[in-house]
Amino acid sequence: MRRKHASAGNTAPQDQFEARLAEIQAAGGGALEVHVIGPRDAAGLMAGATYGDAAADRLLRVLGSALRQIQAAPVSEPALCGTCPAPLRRGTFFGLS
């Protein structure tokens, strides 16, 4: 469930994120896929991969690889975002494309 700010004129950060994501995907003209994967998506991805969904299997493999790299990086030298120099640590929100 999305939360909205109390004042009617403000857009929730989630709404802003989704609008920007839609802009990025449209600008890519179909050449770019951006997936936002959260803990709630895990069961569905695992079930899809188990029953032959190639896209779900691919996402799980990429996600697992990215998480292993983040977790294996030493605290003093964390893994960095592929598009900006922000450090990625356990519990960090990040996107895969």
C-alpha to C-alpha distance for 10 and 86, rounded to whole angstroms? 27
C-alpha to C-alpha distance for 37 and 73, rounded to whole angstroms? 21
pTM beyond 0.95, yes or no: no
Domain total of the chain: 1
List, in order, residues 6 or more apart from 12 with CB less than 8 Å away. Answer: 2, 3, 4, 5
Q: Is 2 within the bounds of a domain? A: no
What is the C-alpha radius of gyration for the chain, rounded to an integer number of angstroms? 16
Q: Is 36 within the bounds of a domain? A: yes
Residues 31-85: tens digit of each pLDDT? 877 777 777 888 898 999 999 999 999 988 988 888 888 888 888 888 887 667 7
Q: Domain containing 69: what range?
A: 13-88
Q: Is 59 within the bounds of a domain? A: yes
Q: Is 51 within the bounds of a domain? A: yes
